[in-house]
Structure 1
Amino acid sequence: MADDQGFRPDWAGKDFYAELGVAKDASAAEIKKAYRRLARDNHPDSNPGDTAKHDRFKKVAEAYDVVGDTDKRPKYDEMRRLQGSGAFGGFGGTRGGQPGGQAGGVNVEDLLRDRMGGGGFGDMFGDLFGGAGGPQRRQQAPRPRKGPDAETTATISFVDSLDGVTISLRLASDAPCPSCSGTGGKPGTRPHICSECEGAGYVVSTSGGAFSMNETCPRCAGRQLIYDEACPTCAGSGRGRSNRTIQARIPAGVKDGQRIRLKGKGTAGENGGPAGDLFVTVKVSPHRLFGRAGDNLTLDVPVSFDEVALGAEIKVPTLGGAPVTLRLPAGTPNGRTFRVRGRGAPRADGSKGDLLATVEVQVPAVLDPAAREAVESYRDAVSGKPLRSRLFEEAG
């Protein structure tokens, strides 16, 4: 049976590795895989009425609770090593003709119980089998808990999205209650171990499937401790609201709608746990001239009929740099796109995309007499070559 510290001496004589069918030096992944397979094969929900498999499931769960726990496993291994060396004269069973782990007239269970209260072996193994001691077992310190992630949006200019910018963000987020420091209890009162989860912070659920699942304890919300009187400020939730301003660096080349993760800038944690992360959704204001297509910038360039018909060299602006010259071949069609390499948006590797300049032929709304005469002369010159004759040929 368990002593008043939750220690089960008989467990020291059990080979939990053999129970799971793995080697003593098996990795955590191998242990987990073996447990899942055995739990699935022997789960009571899958084997109704099969008491042998029900017992097997309990043994597998007991073994995994110890060697599948990163804190318990090294203590269990050390206990087995010490037992094998005879350092403690055995645990449980019969030794020297005396039951209950006695050796040479000394009851080892009594010895361990005495020493658990005063350090030494008890400090090393006192919390090894934490689920068996009931309400009187040693109180564990609440686990640190990471704070929840937070989200916000930020609007920046088109130029800043290309160059990168540091912005100030005003955040109103969840935070530990200032009155109870996140405990959820009335200031000045003392907590006690949650009877629902026995201080583990979680409960095991085996209903509705082949696997057992750890779920946050519904009574203590994972805090492991409960207070009889709730904090009047937060009504026992342990949380409050915090208004703060942080500086956030938006990297160069960010796209409209992109989500930036700022590690550790989210909601504060509990019991010394780390803060969560902050996710910033970036909105980019449109530019009057330039657009964006992936890593490329786009620009619509107005041109005249004679420039595309006869050919020309024209200058176009770039964003944040010197103008560049485009050479338009004679007969350039309306809507043709020219590529200027290296004048686009910055990429993550430090290179840049391209500038895509698309020509748009402008039709004058009003012609002066000389221009009208010139256009009429051009019309007369090409009147023998109707442009739409092919439409009727294809249609017919």
Structure 2
Amino acid sequence: MSKRDYYEVLGVERDVSEKDLKKAYRRVAMKYHPDRNPDDAAAEENFKEAAEAYEILSNEQKRAAYDQYGHAGVEGAAGAGGAGFGNFSDIFGDVFGDIFGGGGGRGGRGGPARGSDLRYTLDLDLEQAVRGTTVKIKVPTLVACEPCGGSGAKKGSTPKTCTTCGGHGQVRMQQGFFSVQQTCPNCHGKGKIVGDPCTSCHGRGRKEETKTLSVKVPPGVDTGDRIRLSGEGEAGADGGPAGDLYVQMSIRQHPIFEREGSNLYCEVPIGFVEAALGGELEVPTLDGRVKLKVPEGTQTGKLFRLRGKGVAPVRGGSTGDLLCRVLVETPVNLTSKQKDLLREFQGLTKEGKHSPKQSTWFEGMKNFFGDMKL
């Protein structure tokens, strides 16, 4: 049975770049991988065929010979399951290193590692969020050990290269046809061994500590906004760089105002006499009290807009407004005289012209029941 063209096997053109060749092999190999296709002989053959094609085309000399002479030019250089697969584990590790936790024949994961990022939730009052503020926060974290400089080794000594993994932090385990990378059991992935550990951090290179930091909160922040403090996260392992600290805003509920974007909302209760006759009210804003004129005949739910009395957004833009929603209150705990006066008032307003919405509602109800009778 004649062999298929290697470029056809991987689904690429003959001028394919090394980077795109690797991507193509990854795609085909993942599709036909034996773990994904158990007991599928055809998939296994396709997998071996793709590995053979990649082995040849990823090698500059072999690819040149193949391009000039075809399969005859590389005969004996590769074979489906034969001796030509001597370096297949290198191919496998190179392409699938990110899946199996290794870097193929190009080094492991030992050495300094960046520290973890941290998140801190900062609770603020609405006034603090709108105007901006500076607050002190305490953050428990891991910091680099000063006596050993984060190395974990006692002062005057240095960590030694792990002899098991050669400093790579990974060891290769051959499992039949495949070669799988695993964390070195001796150095636990660090690549180095601390023979004389630091007495301050006990060889860990990092210590638990609560840091006090000053956070400058800009005006206009809202719940969910984050401030990044670079390098204020956990110290990196083995002397690696520290992570970042993300301070996330959480605005407490306000007794008067509700915020929606750059606008503020509040409810203003008024008596029905003020609503009927109109008048002038004092309403609160974040900058103090202001006068609000209420026209006569104001209905409950009416919105009054006070422009520029809202919030200036943290990312720029015009300042929002304060919207006051009027709630007309029904009087309670009335005296007998007050009740008599209301009954007298009710008798003077039965014509309906003083309650236009009520009159319209009753007319609609009559029409509805009239239609029901039909």
TM-score, with length taken from structure 1 = 0.59
Map 1:1-396 onto structure 2 (within 5 A).
32-41=19-28, 45=33, 48=44, 53-58=50-55, 131=105, 143-178=111-146, 180-185=148-153, 189-194=157-162, 197-201=165-169, 220=187, 222-228=189-195, 234=201, 236-270=203-237, 273-321=240-288, 323-326=290-293, 328-347=294-313, 348-367=315-334, 372=339, 374-385=341-352, 387=358, 389=362, 393=366, 394=368
**CA shift in 2, pair 1:157/1:239, >3 Å:** same
Shift in Å, 1:270: 4.4
Shift in Å, 1:153: 2.2
**CA shift in 2, pair 1:376/1:231, >3 Å:** same
- Count of residue pairs the alignment pairs up: 295
Alpha-carbon separation, structure 2, partners of 1:355 and 1:308: 20
Shift in Å, 1:298: 1.1
Alpha-carbon separation, structure 2, partners of 1:338 and 1:354: 10
- Give a deviation string over 1:345-380, Cα, whole Å, max 9, x none: 221214211111000112333456875554333200
Root-mean-square deviation (CA, aligned residues, Å) is 4.3
- Give a deviation string over 1:143-176, Cα, whole Å, max 9, x none: 5532211122222222101011111111110223
Shift in Å, 1:334: 0.7
Tell me, which stretches of 5 or more residues in structure 2 are unaligned?
1-11, 35-42, 61-103
Shift in Å, 1:55: 4.2
Tell me, which stretches of 5 or more residues in structure 1 are unaligned?
1-19, 64-129, 134-139
Alpha-carbon separation, structure 1, partners of 2:125 and 2:187: 47
Shift in Å, 1:323: 1.4
TM-score, with length taken from structure 2 = 0.62
| Preserved contact between residue 205 and residue 239 of structure 2 (Cα < 8 Å) | no
Shift in Å, 1:231: 5.5
Q: In the alignment, which residue of structure 2 is the partner of 1:5? A: none
| Preserved contact between residue 143 and residue 223 of structure 1 (Cα < 8 Å) | yes
SS at structure 1 position matched to 2:130: helix
Alpha-carbon separation, structure 1, partners of 2:146 and 2:152: 10
